[in-house]
Chains A and B, each alone.
Chain A
Amino acid sequence: MIQKKICMLGSSAVGKTSLVRHYVDGIFSEKYLTTLGVKIDKKNITIEDQAFQFMLWDIEGTDQYSGFQPRYMRGAAVLILVTDCTRPQSYLDSLDILRQARKETDAPAILVINKSDLKAEWKLEHQQLFDIEKEFIGTIYTSAKTGESVETLFELIGDYFVTQY
């Protein structure tokens, strides 16, 4: 079994914690998020006969008033940048967060556009698509509310690791 550390990042209230709440095994309460700034869950998945155990570091949402512990990024195999399709600012924040994270890690990042069940308030434009291609290894639309594509997100990450071996 291969273990991988995966960090989930994003600005406040984009739904990072909600996104994986029903899809992972955890023993820690969410109060750790507010005290330590991180909560760790685990997700087991098998891709092409290879078992993976993802240790998901759900890192507290950052905004203009609070930063995050860059140390938490250390050793991450993949970064998940979560944005909210109803808040254009969240996308800009994610780019900013990614920039900060890059000081600690050069792990590949995936862009997750959450709340796909709601009406999108922003769309990826040409420049953004260009940026994304540069910064992220993939983009996926998810809904924490309906569970849409959450499993697909983990499978995508698993596929990525399989191609690495």
Chain B
Amino acid sequence: MPIKQNDQQSDQQLQQLKSILLNDDNKRVVDVVRAQAKELVTEVLTEALKDRQKKDASITTVLTPIVENSVERSITNNRDKFIGYLYPIMGSLVRKSVAAFLNEFMEKTNKLIENSFTYKGLKWRFQAKQANVSFAQYVISQTYVFRVEQVFLIHTETGLLLNSVALDPETGNDADLMSSMLTAITDFIADSFGKDKQQGEGLDVIKTANFTLVIKNGPSAVIAAAVTGNMPENVPNQLQKSLEQIHQLYFDELQKFKGDAAPLANTEQQLRDCLITQSKKQETNKNNKKPWYALIIIGIVFSIICYQLFAFFKQDETFETLQLLNNEAGIIVINIKKEQDEHYYLEVWRDPAAISIRHWLQKNKIKVENIALTEQLFISADTSIIQHKAQKIYEKFLLSGQWKNKELTLNGKITYADKRILQQELSVIAGGLLVDSSKLELKDNSPLNIKTNILLAQHIFKEKVGEISTIQLHFRKADISLDKISEQIVKEQTTRLNELFLLAKTLNIEIGVLVLGTSDNSGVKAKNNQISQQRASIVKAALINNGIDASKLHALGVGEIPLNNISADARKVLFSIIYL
């Protein structure tokens, strides 16, 4: 008894001591700790965070929404700064993203082609039809070992949907109805088959032919996942882990839930952790291979595009080449029309001396059979064509020629008859060809073998006389000088006279040349007489200067020519041959 009294006394004393030391409600200790709270927490904060994160990774979950909100606010308030920070890395981000997109596109294309055109693809289509599921679903079932398609977070008591996530966003539309019905089903099964309420809560897997529904029950919320394929153990484990995290982090929100799920929106992160997929190994290996099918198809498409581009440019090239025909002498392109394929319609005018169109096409590597050609002949005044035509003629007579634009000076030896033929042929060439044949030497000084053909020689003589007589020189009013054209005419007349003298000599005919000057009827008659004489004399002098024997020439001014319609403009020098 005394011992008991002693114990009681000790207890009371201890209480008194505690009360003195610690004050009521441990106030002294609390005050001391509070005073040093900052230092104490600072010391262990990092380690505590690390340990907690290691234990259940809940730090990340708690910090994520805080960091998100902070970043959002920071960006809103300092937009310009962030643009400055991000600008340099945006380019590489975009490139990376584009590269990733292309890779994905290649793989998808490959898979699509593989699934569509291969034996396996056709087989899968057939089997999908047999199983009465869509081809896409069947491909997924064959491609993946399993896929968590959709995850629901359901309020235990009401069956209302708190949150849901789905791999395919389109499948999440009726999640609210699904979650309620799921609750009804589990309630039904629990009531129907459970021996007691506790046992009834144990329903955690519903299996159908197409998918498995995994359910994890918690005190305030249920997590349910629709899984296709063969589900491994880690899926229920992940569900359980996420459910526990949600209960831990959102305890108050779950307790106070009265129909507004907004405070639980952040549970999406935990639910997303449950969207696990695993590809079949075989497929994974295949994915590591080069996407040959896609490469082949893309290669073919690329080749076709290249060919089309090549054909297009080639056609364009042909068109441009054909236009170059215009640069050819003696050819005028009237029309070029592109017809179907590589065919063209080509309409040209061509001088007979110009290059043949066929030859030109071959030279320019254009297929002749692709060109529908319409050709019309015309006479070209082009210098090179005239030269070409003349050259063809004089080379026939073994002569050489020197050109100065359209003026041709012929050199060489030629018989008189050939010379006549030559002159006739050259005269046919239109377009302003001038021929100087004064330097031609006549073979043996004898144009013809007179003895054998004296009649022909006489005929030629007369013809030449006639020819010389047709030549006239014209003068300007009150002018006696020779212009360039007149000088040329005098030069040609000199050639004719020389030939005539030769013929005359051969035929033994004496000849003389009368150079007759005339004047118009304006002015004083005496003066006109004088002018006409001066004109005749000046032409005579020119002929003498050109080598004509002066003794064969007689210049005579005949003054005015009193003839109607002639007298007013008769400022001429005429030639007349007198022969005996």
The residues of A with any CB-CB pair to B shorter than 8 Å are: 1-5, 25-28, 32, 36-38, 40-42, 52-53, 55, 57, 69, 71-72, 74-77
Contacts and interface: CB of A to CB of B under 8 A. Distances in A.
Given A27-B177, A71-B190, A4 B259 contact: yes
A42 B181 CA distance: 11
B260 A72 contact: no
A55 B159 contact: yes
23 contacts: A2-B259, A3-B158, A3-B160, A3-B260, A4-B160, A28-B177, A28-B181, A32-B181, A36-B184, A36-B185, A38-B184, A40-B184, A42-B176, A55-B158, A55-B159, A55-B160, A57-B180, A57-B184, A69-B188, A69-B191, A71-B187, A74-B157, A75-B158
Nearest to B162: A3
Nearest to A73: B187
Nearest to A38: B184
A155 B155 CA distance: 25
Contacts of B258: 2
A74 B184 contact: no
Interface residues of B, number: 23
A5 B187 contact: no
B172 to A, nearest CB: 13
B306 interface: no
A71 B161 contact: no
B178 to A, nearest CB: 8
Contacts of A57: 180, 184
Contacts of B177: 25-28, 40-42, 55
A75 B155 contact: yes
Interface string B154-194: 01011111000000000000101110110011011011000
Nearest to B184: A38
Contacts of A38: 184, 188
Contact of A77 (B181, B184, B259): B259
Contact of B184 (A25, A26, A72): A72
Contacts of A72: 184, 187
A5 B160 contact: yes
A5 B185 contact: no
B261 interface: yes
Contact of A27 (B174, B184, B191, B261): B174
A38 B185 CA distance: 9
A72 B192 CA distance: 13
B176 A53 contact: yes
B180 A5 contact: yes
A1 B260 CA distance: 6
A100 B260 CA distance: 28
A151 B61 CA distance: 43
Contacts of A55: 158-160, 176-177, 180
Given A27-B174, A75-B157, A76-B158, A2 B187 contact: no
Contacts of A26: 177
Given A75-B158, A75-B159, A40 B180 contact: yes
A25 B184 CA distance: 18
Contact of B187 (A27, A69, A77): A69
A3 B157 contact: no
A6 B330 CA distance: 100
Given A28-B181, A57-B184, A77-B259, 18 more contacts: A2-B258, A3-B160, A3-B176, A3-B260, A4-B160, A28-B177, A36-B188, A38-B188, A40-B177, A42-B176, A42-B177, A53-B176, A55-B158, A55-B176, A69-B188, A71-B190, A71-B191, A72-B187
A2 B188 contact: no
A52 B176 CA distance: 13
Contacts of B259: 2-4, 52, 77
A157 to B, nearest CB: 12
The 4 A-B residue pairs whose C-beta atoms are closest, nearest first, are A75-B158, A75-B157, A71-B187, A2-B259
A137 B180 CA distance: 25
A5 B157 CA distance: 10
Nearest to B262: A1
Contacts of B174: 27
Contacts of B155: 75
Interface in B426-475: none
A69 B157 CA distance: 15
Contacts of A52: 259
Contacts of A2: 258-260
A27 B177 CA distance: 8
Contacts of A69: 187-188, 191
A3 B184 CA distance: 16
Nearest to B173: A27
Given A4-B259, A5-B180, A26-B177, A37 B188 contact: yes
A36 to B, nearest CB: 5
Contacts of B261: 1, 3
Interface in B125-150: none
A56 to B, nearest CB: 9
Nearest to A5: B158
B186 to A, nearest CB: 9
A38 B159 CA distance: 13
Contacts of B191: 69, 71
Nearest to A54: B259
Contacts of B188: 36-38, 69, 71
A57 B185 CA distance: 12
Contacts of A27: 174, 177-178
Contacts of B187: 69, 71-72, 74
A10 B73 CA distance: 53
B160, B188, B190, B259, most chain A CB atoms within 10 A:
B259
Contacts of A5: 158-160, 180
Contacts of A53: 176
B276 to A, nearest CB: 26
Centre residue among A27, A36, A37, A40 by max chain B CB count within 10 A = A40
Contacts of A28: 177, 181
A51 to B, nearest CB: 10
Residue in B157, B160, B184, B191 with the greatest tally of chain A CB atoms within 10 Å: B184
A13 B158 CA distance: 26
A69 B178 CA distance: 19
B514 to A, nearest CB: 128
A78 to B, nearest CB: 11
